[in-house]
Chains A and B, each alone.
Chain A
């Protein structure tokens, strides 16, 4: 089921929580939804899950409009809200039973579905405990279990791995990737490494507007523009190396590298690569090139650049 968000605006009073955003998520795709606090991520998720209705624009999930057919959408969505709200007084099994009933799973299938969820989410030891007695990580697993219990075609997860231990995080990421092969998944996260590891595509939202939409390499290419290399050589002193680098026509900028004495970070002129020229220059001077490393812009840097408040 595809999710199509078209020109959606949502206001709370005079403030626009989301401002005319559009994007599409296809079946078999895991979309990472990024943004600083208060950017409108959660509002967008609430609108897609039909918890709130947008003031303008329309959201369609699998062809159903959120205005005309919210129930059909809710039937097909598994949602883990950011705060992971649960009923603390309910035992895990009873809670999952309740959610399964609300999703109209036939009664004879409920026990097997619950068992499967307990296994998938690693709740074997805790299934008879009350939810309020569980640790944060286990509560998070219960939240995941309730989102997955009806085998939804669309899965929306707001910070799914918060509170989990590293092993569980890896398991859950693998689970999300596995689910993402056949289903439509939106993953909200602050953890950029997680988004990069799990998602096929990334949307970055800032102040209610989409500021970037593409795969991680796409975003890198766009944000980077210039080639950045770290260069170190044995033979010359730092000053000589720096001067020699600056004289190369393809080098635009030379900076001493952080924390590595004697090494430099250079930026090439737009659209050019300096690798060959640096190598030739070292050969000519009889220096031993000890490092020539392309530096990738980190997703963090892209994120910060795009979402810096101005």
Chain B
């Protein structure tokens, strides 16, 4: 655990040192703030003291921003050779991968924590369903964990950050949209499977305040799959000369 935290700490610091973290936070707050408060189906247009608008916007903005955070993590280590440095220290492949994952997840959590003033503002404006707000945040965190682990996986199989970025969007879009869209047009068993695979199904049910073990299993198993895939890709150095 300690090694994971040391790696995550370094990554987090590097996010902040290289301005990536600040740019992400500004973009995320700007984007979600704009759509929550000013444009389109904003809180005032809906005329309800509800965070649903914000969660809907974040559902998309996080999907787009997370690959930009993860694309560098392992691809850059592969390219510059620092992976050799790390993995000849007392660090296992799994610790490296989970450390990278943890750093991205924590950065997202920090960004989300910075939107808590939205919640406080709404609280002032009218009656808020507090439970739904917290489960909504939980839904966003779980979804972010999934996309972060997919992003880490995409980053681990490439030396090129652009490839990693596009690949994680490509894998992500299936869970984010395509499975859901296909489920809507399919019936029977296939429809059920596709609907189970769709992120929207589980995000909606969690953010509606229903925390079902079925949803938790979905999120956690995807996170685990992504990280396990990344670990396998990192261990592939034993077969292919890098």
Contact = CB atoms under 8 A, between A and B. Distances in A.
Partners in one complex: yes
Interface of A: 12-13, 17, 46, 49-53, 71, 74-75, 77, 79, 81, 83, 85-87, 89-90, 94, 98-99, 101-104, 146
Given A53-B238, A75-B90, A146-B85, 4 more contacts: A71-B90, A74-B91, A85-B81, A102-B86
A75 B17 CA distance: 29
Contacts of A52: 237-238
Contacts of A94: 13
B81 A102 contact: no
Interface in B60-114: 80-92
A74 B90 contact: yes
A90 B88 contact: no
B234 to A, nearest CB: 11
A89 B239 contact: no
20 contacts: A12-B239, A13-B240, A50-B88, A51-B84, A51-B87, A71-B90, A71-B92, A74-B91, A81-B81, A81-B85, A81-B88, A85-B84, A85-B85, A86-B82, A87-B14, A98-B10, A101-B6, A102-B3, A103-B89, A104-B90
Contacts of B83: 85
A89 B3 contact: no
Contact of A83 (B6, B81, B240): B81
Contacts of B84: 46, 51, 81, 83, 85
Given A12-B239, A52-B238, A90-B14, A102 B91 contact: yes
Contact of A102 (B6, B18, B239, B240): B6
Contacts of B88: 49-51, 74, 77, 79, 81
Q: Rank and list the top 10 A-B pairs by shortest CB-CB distance, nearest first.
A: A85-B81, A49-B88, A85-B82, A12-B241, A102-B89, A74-B90, A101-B6, A79-B88, A83-B81, A75-B90
Interface centre among B3, B85, B92 (most CB of A within 10 A): B85
Contacts, number: 66
A101 B18 CA distance: 22
B85 to A, nearest CB: 5
A74 B92 CA distance: 10
Contacts of A46: 84
Chain B interface residue count: which class?
20 to 34
Nearest to A54: B238
Contacts of A17: 241
Contacts of B2: 104
Nearest to A74: B90
Contacts of A81: 81, 84-85, 88
Nearest to A130: B17
Interface in B1-22: 2-3, 6-7, 10, 13-14, 17-18
Contact of B18 (A75, A77, A89): A89
A102 B95 CA distance: 11
Interface centre among B82, B83, B240 (most CB of A within 10 A): B82
Contacts of B10: 87, 90, 98
Contacts of A90: 10, 14, 17
Nearest to A50: B88
Contacts of B92: 71
A98 B18 contact: no
A176 to B, nearest CB: 19
Contacts of A85: 80-85
Interface string B208-242: 00000000000000000000000000000111110
Given A89-B17, A89-B18, A103 B90 contact: yes
A53 B88 CA distance: 12
B240 to A, nearest CB: 7
Contacts of A79: 85, 88
A52 B240 CA distance: 10
B14 A89 contact: yes
Contacts of B82: 85-87
Contacts of B13: 94
Contacts of A51: 84, 87-88, 237
Contacts of A71: 90, 92
B87 to A, nearest CB: 5
- For B3, B14, B82, B88, the residue with the greatest tally of chain A CB atoms inside 10 Å of its CB is B88
Nearest to B83: A85
A276 B6 CA distance: 71
A283 to B, nearest CB: 64
A99 B89 contact: yes
Contacts of A74: 88-91
A86 B18 CA distance: 16
Contacts of B89: 74, 99, 102-103
Nearest to B7: A102
A19 to B, nearest CB: 15
A13 B238 CA distance: 10
A104 B5 CA distance: 12
Contacts of B241: 12, 17
Contacts of B7: 102
